Structures are given as C-alpha cells and as structure tokens.
Structure 1
Amino acid sequence: MGVFEEKKETCGTICLKYLLFAFNFLFWLAGGVVMAVGVWTLVQKSDYISLLSSKTYAASAYILVLAGVIVMVTGVLGCCATFKEQKRLLRVYFILLLCIFLLEILAGVLAYIYYQQLNDELKQNLKKTMTEKYNQTNYEHITKAVDKLQQEFKCCGSNSSADWAESVYIRSGAKGRKVPDSCCKTITNMCGIRDHPSNIYKVEGGCITKLENFILDHLKIIGAVGVGIACVQIIGMVFTCCLYRNLKAEPY
C-alpha cells in the first residue's frame, strides 16, 4: 500500500512538472509579447508621448517592458527549477512570478486611471503645447510630433485650424502662413498661406479627438495585456505551489 502511494505521488509530480514546463514555455512567449507591446509603444509612438504632460502613459509602457524582460528570464528559471526539482529555485521562481504579477496589475491600473483622465488632460494642455511650443527653440521634438500628428491623422490644430491664430509661431510672422505646412492636404513649401478647406484639413473636433481615440485604443491594449498575462500567472503560481508541496512530501 505504501509503495502504491509513493508511485502515485511520483506520477502526480511528473504530471505537474510537465504542466509547469508547458506553462513556462507559453509564459516565455507571452513575455516576448508583453515586452514587444511596451517597446512598440515607446519607440513607434514616442513623438505623441511628448505631447502629453502626464507621464502615466509612458510609465505604463515602461512597466510592460520591464515585466516582459523579467517574464522571459523567469520562464527559463522556471524550466530549470522544474526539471532539477530544486525547492530553492522554485521559491525564487514563485517570488518572481508574484513580482511580475504585481507589476502587470500596476500597468493595468495605471492604464485604467489614465484612461479616465485623458480627455481632461488633452483639453487643458494640447492646445497650449501646440500654440506655445511649435517651431520654438529647444522644442524641436514638439514641432516634429505636431507635424506628424497633423499629417498622420489628417487634422489641423487642437480643436480646429483656428487655434493656430493664437500660435506664437504664426503671430511672429511665419512668412505669411496662417497654419503650419503640415496642415496641408498636399504639403508644399508655404502651402500654409491659404487657409481654405480645399487646401488644409478642416476636421471636426480637430487633432484632440484623433489623438484621444488613438491613445485610448493603446491604453486598452496595455491594460488588457497587463491584466491578461497577470491572470494567467495565477495558474503558474498554483502549479508551482503544488509541485513544491509534492517535492517536499517525497523522500530525499
């Protein structure tokens, strides 16, 4: 009877080992996805981040990058801990899983909080940023971001093209331009002189609506990825605890 119970426990441990190994492989792949989402947000959309006064959006992306790196390292550690059956490694693995879980929940919470306050922030700051910093010394990154925003989203000004009348750049002369050349449907030098719907983008709601929708979509992705992977990790932590208990119960 004792021999049968020992074999049964051993079979259970073997099953747990392979389940945990499969989980770690998928977890490692998921870490790559998490890191890729964070890097893509920071690298490809870094121009738009410079138009935001709050650093919450960027912080969420940085947290995902950090979590992704730790996830990939943890996945390898988990495989080693599983097959070597070392309880110390399993403890370290469990602690790392818990840390990643908390990081990704934090990224999800930050994304949700910023999701709620984004509209107010854009209303308060985007117009000011565009009218006061566009084409000004030491704000070349803002100029590049605004030009990219207006061309990529086919819009002009924060709320409308009329916003540019208050711009430091336009009021200083701007060689007769009424709007920056990036407002034009077809960009040519000095095309911003003619402020007419046939020449420039006259989009209802201006760039603020376009940028808000864009960021909201990405916040949903950041939040979903962070919380989704965190929930999957609960399975890994359960498997780890079960394997740890089985190894502890078995004779050395």
Structure 2
Amino acid sequence: MSGNQFKGQEVSCCIKYFIFGFNILFWLLGMALVAIGLWAWSEKGVLSNISSITDLGGLDPVWLFMVVGGVMFILGFAGCIGALRENTFLLKFFSVFLGIIFFLELTTGVLAFVFKDWIKDQLNLFINNNIRAYRDDIDLQNLIDFTQEYWDCCGAFGADDWNLNIYFNCTDGNPSREKCGVPFSCCHKDPAEDVINTQCGYDIRAKPDLEQKDYINVKGCVPQFEKWLQDNLTLVAGIFIGVALLQIFGICLAQNLVSDIEAVRASWVPPPHSMRRLPPQSSKKASVSLPNAETAFQPLTDFDTPP
C-alpha cells in the first residue's frame, strides 16, 4: 500500500485560509506604505544622499510610513506564507512578533499613565525640536500645520514657542519677513475665504497678547491634546482595546493552526514496506563434471579396440 496514512487528524481549513486572507491584506498594505515612503524620499533626494536622513533636526514623517509599513509587511508575509504553506516556523514567528508588539503597546500605555509629567515634558521637547526644523522639510511642515489646524493650537504651550525658529523669532537681527509671526495654521479660519491666506500670521506676535487672540489660536498643542484625550477618552480606549483584542485573536489563531499542523505530523504513519520475495538460491555451487586423470588416460582394452 503506497501513500501516507493519518490517524483522523487534519488541519482546519477555515483557520488556515482566514489567517491567509487576513494577512495578505496587511502584506499588500505594508508594501504600499513602504512604496509611498520610498517615493517621498526619492522626491526629496534622500535616496541619492542617504546621509541626509540624519540631517533633519525634527521628525521626518516618512519614517512613520517606513516603520509602520515595514512591520505590517513582515507580519503579513509571515502570517500569509506560514498559513498557506503550513510552515510552523513562520507561524510561530508571526505569533511571537505580534506578542512583542502587544507587550510594547501595553508597556507604553502603563508608562504613559504612571509618568504623565515626564511624558508631557518629552512631548514638549519633541514639538519644540520640530518647530526648529519647520522650514527644513516640507513633510514635517505639513504635519505641524495639520496638527495646529486640527487641535486649534499654536506651538507646544503657546505662540511664543515659535521664537525657537530662526524665521519666526523676534530678535532684532532677524532679516526674515516672517519675523515675530506664526505659521498660517495658527490663524483663525474664516469660512468665507476660499483661498488660504498664508500671510495671516505675519507680525502677529508684535501685538499685545489680548489683541493676538482675535487673530490666532494662543493655546498650545500639548494642553489641547490633553483636552482632546479627555473629551474622547471612550473612543481612544475603544480603539486601543479593539486593536489589543485583534492582536490576541491573531496570536490564538496562529497557535491553533500550529497545534493542528504538529498534531497531523505526529499522527503520520509511514506506508508499510512491500515485501518482495526473492527466488530461492541453492547454497551449493553448480559443479561441472570433468573426466579425472584416471579415466582420461586409461589404456584401451580389448573391448575398446575398434573393429
């Protein structure tokens, strides 16, 4: 009888193809994010001069695309190929990698809750570093403008934080036209304007503080972000819990599939060897009868004489 035999064990097709289909979406999305990041770097000339990656004093938003896309690509590849090929190594790698990400997220959340003041100081330092590099990178500039527009804020803790930027500071030796101003994203939006007035923040900080409130948002982005978290605490908690449950669900499915694959391999029975009968062989060698010396040279007798 030829072929492998299994003692009633089989891999769940539902789990296998669910993991495959779910991870192939992550794989493709990760590839798209990495491609967008590489395209952005090529447009800024980073790929032709790799050392320029470290020249930016603030955060290059392209790193977000590259890191998130790279993680999604690795996870999607391991989960997709591991499920399709029933490769326990890739499936275990997928589970461990996903578990590490879940642990880092949980640790970050706990530390952010325990060390709130330290996190606030680090966020202030992070925003100020990006304010200094505001004009150095177009992607960073767009990110800061989006943040200030979305949260109706200006600077880390106020509009005066823009003194850290060489184009907006109020020093006497500053030759910039944007001296003592703020970016247009700090200005109050006029619904009647179809075209954004990018010069609305010019010389605004040279005016008294009470008058500045009529033109720009004077609240900083750090307190506005804290207020937004408090107002949307249920939404934020729901998102984090949903992501955590999704990760745990993926780990459980991968481990279940690994258990099925290992159970099938453990129940594998090799096919019985076919016994081929060999023809019986004589233990004695065939002998050839030859005349011995006596008969070969025996002298002729009378009976042997020819007529």
| Band the TM-score falls in, shorter-chain normalisation | 0.5 to 0.7
**Structure 1 CA distance, aligned partners of 2:198 and 2:85?**
62
125 and 71 in structure 1: CA distance in 2 versus 1, 3 angstrom threshold:
closer
**Structure 1 CA distance, aligned partners of 2:169 and 2:268?**
78
- Report 1:1-252 matches (<5 A): 9-10=7-8, 12-13=9-10, 16-29=11-24, 31-32=26-27, 35=30, 62=67, 64-82=68-86, 90-109=87-106, 111-112=108-109, 115-116=112-113, 118-127=119-128, 130=131, 133=132, 138=136, 143=141, 145-164=143-162, 168=166, 169-172=168-171, 173=174, 174-175=176-177, 177-182=179-184, 183-186=186-189, 187-189=197-199, 191-194=201-204, 195=207, 196-203=212-219, 206-211=220-225, 225=243, 228-252=246-270
111 and 227 in structure 1: CA distance in 2 versus 1, 3 angstrom threshold:
farther
**Structure 1 CA distance, aligned partners of 2:225 and 2:215?**
22
156 and 93 in structure 1: CA distance in 2 versus 1, 3 angstrom threshold:
closer
Unpaired runs of at least 5, structure 2: 39-56, 190-196, 271-307
Aligned-pair distance for 1:121?
0.5
Q: Bigger CA drift: 92-101 or 217-226?
A: 217-226
From the two aligned structures, give the one with the greater helix fraction: 1
Q: Secondary structure, in 3 states, of the residue corresponding to 1:149?
A: helix
The total of aligned residue pairs comes to 218
Report if aligned partners of 1:34, 1:225 keep a CA contact under 8 Å in 2: no
Pair member with larger Rg: 2
177 and 78 in structure 1: CA distance in 2 versus 1, 3 angstrom threshold:
closer
Report if aligned partners of 1:31, 1:67 keep a CA contact under 8 Å in 2: no
179 and 143 in structure 1: CA distance in 2 versus 1, 3 angstrom threshold:
same
